[in-house]
Structure 1
Amino acid sequence: MTPELQAQHDRTDAFMAEITQQITMHQFDTTDQVLLKRMVEEGFSDTRGVMRLRFAETLGQIGEPATPVLLEAVSSHPNEVVRRASAKTLTLIGDPTAVPTLLHAFLNDPDQVVRSSSVGALARTGEVSVPPLLDILASETADQTTKGHAAWALAFIGAEATEYLTPALNSDSLDVRCAVIGAIVKVVQDQPSEKLLNILISALTDPEPTIRNDVAAGMAQINSPETIPHLILACRDSDVDVRKAAVSSLGKVGDESALETMRSLLNDDENVVRVLAKVAISQLEQRLADDDWD
């Protein structure tokens, strides 16, 4: 380590010690934007990841008063390490006022880590981020990586997004509808809802095979007995991917009533379905045998 770098580390350590003392003594002024900006500038420019983390956690504890300086850094700081750390810190705060800046960074920052950190922060802001995330999913210009991150954020938001999910299932955009299915699966998995489960069950007959496939695959995560008869019907779907998803899910959540249909898939026209059916039957029979010992 060079003497210059050691001196910089010593200054940063002393600054953190000063801040910690002020917070401990309840003397820290959360309205001091100059001080907060210095924390972002000096703390996040430090070459040590552990020190950047300490500043991030401290700013996260300070909360919304730190939002303006963090947003300024995310939007315009020339050092991508500072932008990354600022976006990650906004994840800790979850301030809804950060959404416009985070959206811009998510869509436009040249650094991949800044973009992914920004969408993580968007997810933590909750319901307020849902409409712009749906807009991204419906966009014809956003690439699939961006849409994938937006779909992840929508699923992460989960139950807070519920009021937007059902209407969005009628979107003209397949990307939106697929993301909404994923989000509904996550909500039902975490907080069982008869209404949302019935929406998923209805989607098993959607005219778009991609939707049917996503729903059939999602049923394995929900693990509800109510889905079994509908998955059995999906095993006869005209689309091979839907049949694959349905039989795989039945292997994980099915009961004895599914065995006859699953065995019929051993004669399916597609080899991959026959192989999956064999595996799923084995899984189900093993689970039924284990249940006999309960």
Structure 2
Amino acid sequence: MGDSHRVAEDSALQIAANDALLERIGAQVALDTFDGSDRQTLQQLVEGLGDPRGLIRLRFAETLGQIGAPATPLLREALANHPNAVVRRAAAKTLTIIGDASAVPTLLHSFLNDEDTVVRSSAAGALAKTGEVAVPALLDILSDPEQPEDIKGHAAWALAFIGPEAAAQLYKALDSDCLDVRRAAIGAIARIAQERSDDRSCSALVCALSDPEPTIRAEAASTFGQVNYPPAIPHLISAIQDPEIEVRKAAVSSLGKLGNPSDIEPLRAALQDPETVVQVLAKLAIAQIQNRAEERP
């Protein structure tokens, strides 16, 4: 009973100390009087990321995020070595707020090696926030045959999140011999096209409709359902005859979403597709186009 009482008492004291620390440093940060060279206080703030109360952990992360770069070295140290997974998770999320490129090596190590899945996913999010500087490492991960699929999936997501900032490297990656690299690059370029509808990203997607890999052709065909790019329409019509069913499905669905009456006749050919699902999608696409035409004044 005595030991448990002391543990409870120590916990209460630590909680009170954390509250006081947040109050004091929060005021300094608000007044822009915080001393970024005060390593002892920065360390206390980082330890506060392990507070048992979720909202208080969030406040510590936000405070460290406002402090910014001076907190990065201690956050990197916590992410790499802290025994408490809660602190490592919060450190990664705080580095996401800061977006400091100097944290990339530590984030990569945690992304690939931390035993905690939440830490790994949070590190991936922080890598995405750091932007273009993280792209080469993410592409290396995707090209590594030893990396598991979940890691590659997070890397591809991070590339898509970075998006336009990484455009130059993404277009170059389309020439990669590695399927995982090309697939992630076209997924990220698809997001750029959806956000911007610029000619370069849309042209890259048109080229991807001829990629030797059906998953990439299907990704490109599907994207044009959300991007109004008229030069793609003849290529989508050709994709209705693609040997792979997923590509045909994506092309038919996208033509229906684009809603051009001139596409009805090519879509009628898909009504004779050997796969029932493609026939059904073709019927739906034709109905979509006809309904939209009737709604026009």
- Taking the TM superposition and a 5 Å limit, the aligned residue runs for 1:243-254 are 243-254=248-259
**In structure 1, which of residues 88, 104, 107 is the aligned counterpart of residue 109 of structure 2?**
104
Q: What is the aligned counterpart of 1:216 among 213, 221, 228?
A: 221
| Cα distance in 1 for residues equivalent to 2:153 and 2:102 | 24
In structure 1, the partner of 2:13 is 7
Cα distance, 1:35–1:4 mapped onto 2, change above 3 Å: closer
Give the aligned residue type for 1:266.
L
CA distance in 2, matches of 1:61, 1:244: 48
User: Residue 116 in 1 paired to residue 116 in 2?
Assistant: no
Rate the CA distance shift 1:245–1:25 in 2: closer, same or farther, 3 A: closer
Q: Does structure 1 residue 68 correspond to structure 2 residue 73? A: yes
Q: Quick one: distance in 2 between partners of 1:247 and 1:232?
A: 8
Following superposition, the deviation at residue 47 of structure 1 comes to 0.5
Query: In the aligned structure 2, how far is the partner of 1:146 from the partner of 1:254?
Result: 38
Q: Report the counterpart of residue 151 of structure 1 in structure 2.
A: 156
Cα distance in 2 between the residues matched to 1:26 and 1:185: 42
- Between the aligned partners of 1:179 and 1:273, the Cα distance in structure 2 is 26
CA distance in 2, matches of 1:243, 1:24: 57
Partner of 2:51: 46
Residue of structure 2 aligned with 1:28, choices 14, 19, 34? 34
**Count, aligned residues:** 291
% same residue: 55
- 2:25 maps to 1:19: yes
Are 1:160 and 2:177 an aligned pair? no
The whole-number CA distance in structure 2 between the counterparts of 1:243 and 1:135 is 32
Q: Is the 8 A contact 2:29 2:66 kept in 1?
A: no
Normalization by structure 1: what TM-score? Answer: 0.95
Please tell me the residue identity of whatever aligns with 1:147.
K
Distance 1:90 1:24 in 2: 20
CA-based RMSD: 1.5
Report the alpha carbon displacement of residue 224 of structure 1 after superposing the two structures with TM: 2.4
Structure 1: how far apart are the matches of 2:42 and 2:226? 44
Q: Which moved more, 1:261-270 or 1:173-182?
A: 261-270
TM-score (norm 2): 0.94
| Deviations 1:42-93 (CA, angstroms, capped at 9, x unpaired) | x111100100000111111111111000000000000000000000000001
Deviation at 1:235, TM superposition (A): 0.8
- In the alignment, which of 244, 260, 265 is matched to residue 260 of structure 1? 265
Distance in 2, Cα, partners of 1:257 & 1:220: 16
Unaligned runs of 5+ in 2: none
Unaligned 5+ residue runs, structure 1? none
1:129 aligns with 2:134: yes
Tell me the secondary structure at the aligned position of residue 18 of structure 1: helix
Greater mean alpha carbon deviation, residues 69-78 or residues 278-287: 278-287
1:3 offset after TM fit, Å? 4.4
Take 2:232 and 2:222, find their aligned partners in 1: how far apart are those partners?
11
